[in-house]
Chains A and B, each alone.
Chain A
């Protein structure tokens, strides 16, 4: 079937609009993060929250309903932050439309090349972050997540852009839908614990020595909250990523003649998998919890980014059908 140029054009416009909206959301939430005492209050709130979640601080759940949230001071930075969050939701919807239109334009799963893959991964990251802000009071951290997302989307839209086209025969398989979707969800969600772990390092360094990052770190939530966010997103993404790798092996068996051949992409996926496995083990090992676990998670984050870009753009392997030459 021929490519629908009109839909593809709309998809491109939506993509550009999404980036613009994310930039505005980034600036608005940056106001909330930067000005106002909101950050510090958020830190206080999240401390209470973590006690409830962890349930380690003694009897919390009693006959009396949970204590009401402290009355919210709706200051200006907070209102601006809410606007930013609303824009973030709007941006995510636009990005979803861009992905769907791309799929309709090409009559296939809209993740057949690097550009489409990057578009979908950043979408998943934003959605994962929206879920996190819904469960944890960390909306004011949005800028730290949006910054890498915006950079990735900019690079993706300028350097890696590929015109809508059908995919080559090797990719014409239902495994494209399953394997790549799992890889996208896994990688997309993995960016969230990466950012949370970086923030964790700042916060825990400050907790050990209050002179460090004295202006920045107090606005972050408690280290426990960041650790929890990193852990819960990782244990969601890790099985999905594992599933993606396994499906990739099954697909490789029918497309390339072997289920595992140490192709660069396979190798780096293996490395990222091992690093995240180390992260999960480290949280169960005395002396490795906390900072070391966070560092391991950041290494996993680096491996994921490396796998997203470097492997496809620099090395030559079987996964080099990125549409970039």
Chain B
């Protein structure tokens, strides 16, 4: 219902009053359902680019690729924060406005709700026959008995019995207050969820690290132990829960079609008191069962192969390296990477820089040779082979610039600082000898696991609010607010001893009330026992 009253224009408006009026109107506009609807739409619309465009948080390299591929258009989208939709100014603005609107809507509703909870059901209307549901019947039981039975029948209802004079009594009953309760619980639950979701973004962190599955250790000592680390604004890496873990092994099984079927990694961990006593506790890490310890969760998210090479330098010194290679073709677990060697015992910088070695190329877990070209036909380790180039020269490891773990610096190949010595396919155990007598041996293949360590102190609250939301939603959609009236009077001339009149009105979506009304009124009239 809209009010038709038009407010009178005050003759003397002071600036203060005008400002107040403006604020009041803004507030009313913002908290109206119409605005909330528009904001909901905007929220849905604003979320959409996040599903269609690459997002920096999920895949930063893809964003760069996209920007490069789309020229000025890509750059413009970047300036407008389309690659960070969910932390963009406009997305935040919409949901903040929506939250203000929500609070503005909920506050008065809560007051009304508490008022309604204390209020008595309304007076029984004079003309019950006008109600959508209505029945009249005569019975031979006394008025008091009928009233007593009706009160017992309507025990779950909030009701009030009134004496209307002349021996006429009525009961006014109402039920379904849970609907509004559910409604408020749902909306407050949502509010709480959003607040704690936002808080979680401040206090949570997430770090990824690759650990060799050969008993290697990892400790949550600081940010620099991770390969990549995302942290909330309030996390500076000084208060991270200390724990250590050792990855003993990793086991993957695949179906005949090459689809992964089973991942399992046996790890050991120590946290809290165990760190002092040096006790290790075993845990079987799997994809759907992270290790939860000290408010930190450790996940098994990735795995791959690590070829092991041993280099015997001409002076007899030996060096063995096992560097993880990244998975290039997930279906066959074909890996690519570069294993880099520095000859030990050489103090002369210039000398050293001419003698560094890199073994780089492809690893095929289940190899197939086709005209000398190595490919992998399956993800499992089955006489693995590598196809590698061996380079010698200055890798630039100490040039002061970071370089990829998985590649050699191609510019050094181009300008001759790195020279390709040989290209060959190697089986496990195979040795190749370079021109200066250096021996390179392919020892075998190990495995690495990609772990993620996550910490989010608020997620349990988010879950609590989400459950409240769901319960409230159920109540607000399923419970029906409805009224029922019973009027009992002594029968007049030519009537039965007592006349019962029952009427009903559903206050919200009415579907289904007809059947319930029939059932209840039937029982009220016949006086049968039953719920």
Contact = CB atoms under 8 A, between A and B. Distances in A.
Given A61-B135, A166-B255, A271 B518 contact: no
Contacts of A282: 37
Contact of A52 (B40, B287, B514, B517): B514
B529 interface: no
Nearest to B260: A168
Interface string B264-287: 000000000000000000000011
Interface string A114-155: 000000000000000000000000000000000000000000
A274 B289 CA distance: 31
A315 B51 CA distance: 8
Contacts of A262: 50, 55, 57-58, 85-86
Interface in B487-531: 506, 509-511, 513-514, 517-518
Contact of A166 (B259, B289, B462, B474): B259
B288 interface: yes
Most buried by B among A55, A60, A231, A254: A55
Contacts of A256: 299, 301
A242 interface: yes
A262 B84 CA distance: 11
Interface string B190-205: 0000000100000000
SS class, residues of chain A in contact with chain B:
helix
Contacts of B259: 165-166, 168
B297 A257 contact: yes
A5 interface: no
Nearest to B286: A169
Interface in B181-239: 197, 206
Interface stretch (A80-88, A196-204, A214-222, A232-240): A232-240
Given A58-B132, A258-B454, A288 B58 contact: no
B136 interface: yes
A289 to B, nearest CB: 12
A250 B37 CA distance: 28
Most buried by B among A169, A243, A280, A303: A169
B506 A55 contact: yes
Interface in B99-153: 129-137
Contacts of A271: 44, 47-48, 51
A284 B37 CA distance: 11
Contact of A242 (B1, B197, B473): B473
B262 interface: yes
B261 A166 contact: yes
Interface of A: 52-56, 58-63, 165-166, 168-170, 172-173, 175, 228, 231-232, 235, 238-239, 242-243, 246, 249-250, 253-264, 267-268, 270-271, 274-275, 277-278, 280-282, 284-288, 303, 311, 315, 317
Interface of B: 1-2, 33-34, 36-37, 40-41, 43-44, 47-48, 50-52, 55, 57-58, 85-86, 129-137, 197, 206, 255, 257, 259-263, 286-290, 297, 299, 301, 452, 454, 456, 459, 462-463, 466-467, 469-470, 473-474, 477-478, 506, 509-511, 513-514, 517-518
